[in-house]
């Protein structure tokens, strides 16, 4: 498994309408609509998911100058470009340096976090917690301790109060630690209710799982909550697949997605209604041939259209035909958020 492009800086795409010879698919240019909003941000690399709420705010994380990448808090950029840094949520049970493994954003801007620290208030190894905080990131709403040592990559809170997570289970045996992939549905009190298949979702090799524990950019699949309440999981397989499961973890269907070119790997996914937009990457000597975007019918997995954006950016939200895009500007520490309209 390769390292994911999560910063949104890597998309370098041409503006002409052309054909991918390998798939013989017509490809349309995709332009930005209007002038993007710019904002001053940190001078470090972004990693992990970039999320949005219904108010138009964007949430992302930066690698810290020192220490573990998991020790970074959350940065919120509101619809007017104002930047707020939200520290990792505080729990009385966690002392010392805190580590945020995964986070998600509610429609109201509240924050869901899976976190731990080096030790608890008694100096013992700390447990991993699933916590829900208000929009300020500090007012605690609910919390629950896992009964396992778990480092998740992905988190999707569910309307039932349960949540979906995918990551690495740490099994301690004497002085050794065995790392195993684990994805599933967890209850609101952080207990595993139903395990799900790991293929394309969590790295299967020991080396990749170990790297993922220190580098959050090492990801497997991407999971999103659909408008129908189902969990849509984009699997990093070849070809890419879309797995749809109920909030209880029961499989509804698994669709094979036609990629824009051979050996295409999905890097991000956004959903709206019955449409899904996926960004793809492949190794290529010509950067113009390395990236593409595909719009699919979410119900059938059928390709609606293939695009080559005329800009560098990461698709972070989709509303109707309008895609929200996060872009790194040439000036260090400047981000732009714009929109592009799908035909």
**Residue 57 domain-assigned (yes or no):** yes
- Assigned domain for 101 exists: yes
Query: What are the φ and ψ backbone dihedral angles of 208, each rounded to 5 degrees?
Result: -70, -35
Domain assignment of residue 175, yes or no: yes
d(C-alpha 343, C-alpha 325), whole Å: 16
Give a yes or no: residue 328 inside a domain. Answer: yes
**Number of helices and strands (H, E) in the chain?**
1, 26
- Please count the other Cβ atoms lying within 10 Å of the Cβ belonging to residue 25: 18
Please give the pLDDT value at position 273.
92
Q: Which of 241, 238, 200 is nearest to 221 (CA)?
A: 200
Which pLDDT does position 250 carry in this prediction? 94
Whole-number Å distance between alpha carbons of 201 and 130: 20
Provide CB contacts within 8 A for 124, sequence distance 6+: none
Return the CATH number at 85: 2.120.10.30
Strands 303-309 and 25-30: parallel
Residue 84 parent element (H or E): strand 83-86
Strand partners, 242: 234, 255
Rounded Cα gap, residues 81 and 39, in angstroms: 5
219 close to 153: Cβ distance less than 8 angstroms: yes
Is residue 13, in this structure, part of any structural domain at all?
A: no
pTM score, two decimals?
A: 0.86
Residue 61, domain extent: 18-341
Question: What is the number of structural domains in the chain?
Answer: 1
Going residue by residue through the chain, which has 343 residues, state the pLDDT in tens, using 9 for 90 and above: 333 333 333 333 333 333 443 455 688 888 999 899 988 777 666 667 789 888 889 998 877 777 677 888 898 999 888 989 898 988 988 888 888 999 999 988 999 999 998 877 777 778 999 999 999 999 999 999 999 999 888 899 999 999 999 988 988 888 888 888 889 999 999 999 999 987 767 665 555 545 444 344 334 458 999 999 999 999 888 888 999 999 999 999 999 999 998 888 888 899 999 999 999 887 776 666 777 899 999 999 999 999 988 887 888 899 989 999 988 877 766 888 999 999 7
What is residue 18's predicted lDDT score, i.e. its pLDDT?
39
Q: Which long-range contacts (CB under 8 A, 24 or more apart) does 140-145 make?
A: 140/89, 140/90, 140/91, 141/110, 142/188, 143/91, 144/188, 144/189, 144/190, 145/93, 145/190
Residue 176 placed within a domain:
yes
Contact yes or no for 237/226 (Cβ under 8 A): no
- In a domain? residue 12: no
Please check whether residue 262 lies inside any domain of the structure.
Answer: yes
């Amino acid at each position: 498994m390769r390292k994911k492009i999560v910063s949104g800086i890597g998309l370098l795409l041409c503006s002409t309408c052309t054909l991918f010879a390998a798939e013989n698919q017509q490809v349309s240019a995709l332009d930005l609509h209007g002038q993007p909003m710019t904002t001053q941000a940190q001078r470090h690399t972004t990693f992990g998911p970039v999320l949005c709420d219904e108010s138009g705010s964007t949430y992302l994380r930066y690698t810290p100058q020192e220490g573990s990448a998991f020790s970074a808090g959350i940065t919120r950029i509101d619809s007017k470009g104002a930047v707020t840094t939200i520290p990792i949520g505080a729990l009385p049970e966690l002392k010392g340096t805190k580590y945020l493994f995964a986070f998600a954003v509610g429609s109201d801007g509240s924050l869901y976090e899976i976190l731990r620290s080096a030790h608890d208030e008694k100096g013992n190894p700390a447990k991993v917690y699933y916590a829900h905080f208000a929009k300020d990131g500090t007012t605690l709403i609910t919390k629950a301790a896992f009964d396992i040592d778990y480092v998740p990559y992905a988190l999707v809170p569910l309307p039932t109060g349960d949540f979906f997570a995918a990551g690495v289970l740490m099994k301690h045996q004497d002085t050794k630690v065995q790392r195993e992939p684990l994805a599933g549905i967890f209850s609101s009190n952080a207990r595993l209710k139903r395990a799900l298949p790991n293929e394309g979702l969590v790295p299967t090799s020991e080396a990749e799982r170990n790297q993922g524990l220190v580098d959050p950019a090492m990801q497997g699949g991407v999971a999103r909550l659909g408008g129908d309440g189902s969990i849509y999981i984009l699997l990093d397989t070849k070809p890419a697949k879309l797995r749809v499961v109920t909030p209880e973890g029961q499989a509804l269907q698994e669709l094979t997605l036609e990629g824009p070119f051979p050996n295409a790997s999905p890097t991000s996914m956004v959903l709206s209604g019955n449409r899904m937009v996926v960004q793809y990457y492949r190794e290529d000597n010509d950067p113009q041939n390395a990236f593409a975007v595909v719009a699919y019918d979410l119900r059938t997995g059928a390709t609606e259209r293939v695009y080559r954006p005329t800009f560098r950016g990461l698709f972070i939200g989709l509303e109707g035909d309008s895609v929200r895009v996060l872009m790194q500007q040439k000036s260090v520490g400047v981000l732009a958020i714009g929109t592009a309209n799908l035909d």
